[in-house]
Structure 1
């Protein structure tokens, strides 16, 4: 699922990954006035070998993001959950 999260960000974020670790990664800050997405993704252990992956998606455009940040988050969750369904 972590790999799916990283792949989704690589395909959909408007900036490259800046920091990458075992339980956190983020992109560079959004480009000023750009509707392109930036992302922060974290993975928290829940116990019993389970993890929760959380995402924050945003942009720096007063008219909104492209794609819409809320719709992009839904797609991110769908993609990551489908990757976990195969485990």
Structure 2
């Protein structure tokens, strides 16, 4: 029921948002692919990478960082900068899903683009971007600021171009 409600909210929010330009299909594919880790060791590394990425890409300070939530302050009224909420949910099969949500409060849309930010986040956490930590290595400093992306399915949320949060 929770997933169904979340999906309905996502569709309603997405329907109310207009896009400013097209999102690259490759970016959209990366952004909408669930971020699911297989083992506790892998999940711990990915979770550390997630926190490193948020710390390096957010205009806002991290307000909460636990084993299941990384959340920044913000967004501030009228600003285009993204605020983030990253979640870690244990799945019944022993895997875990890391959810990505980003939103802003700008009437002119968010900057960076939430889809691109989400894709960048997922690639960094998976270790598939240039300069991303590999294997059990400790995460290095994140790459320069890029757009953020929302995680589709599995309760991830991203900001719409009108500043509304979009959950996928």
Relative to the length of structure 2, the TM-score reads 0.47
Q: Which structure has greater strand proportion?
A: 1
Alignment match, 1:29: 74
In structure 1, the gaps of 5 or more residues are none
Distance 1:39 1:63, change over 3 A: same
**Matched residue count:** 87
State TM-score, norm by structure 1. Answer: 0.87
**Structure 2, unaligned runs of 5 or more:** 1-45, 137-168
State the alpha-carbon separation in 2 of the partners of residues 69 and 62 from structure 1. 14
Cα distance in structure 2, aligned partners of 1:72 and 1:30? 16
Q: CA deviation at 1:13?
A: 1.3
How far apart are residue 66 of structure 1 and its match? Answer: 1.4
Which residue number corresponds to residue 20 of structure 1?
Answer: 65
Runs of 4+ more than 6 Å apart: none
SS in 1 for 2:91: strand
CA RMSD of aligned residues (A): 1.9
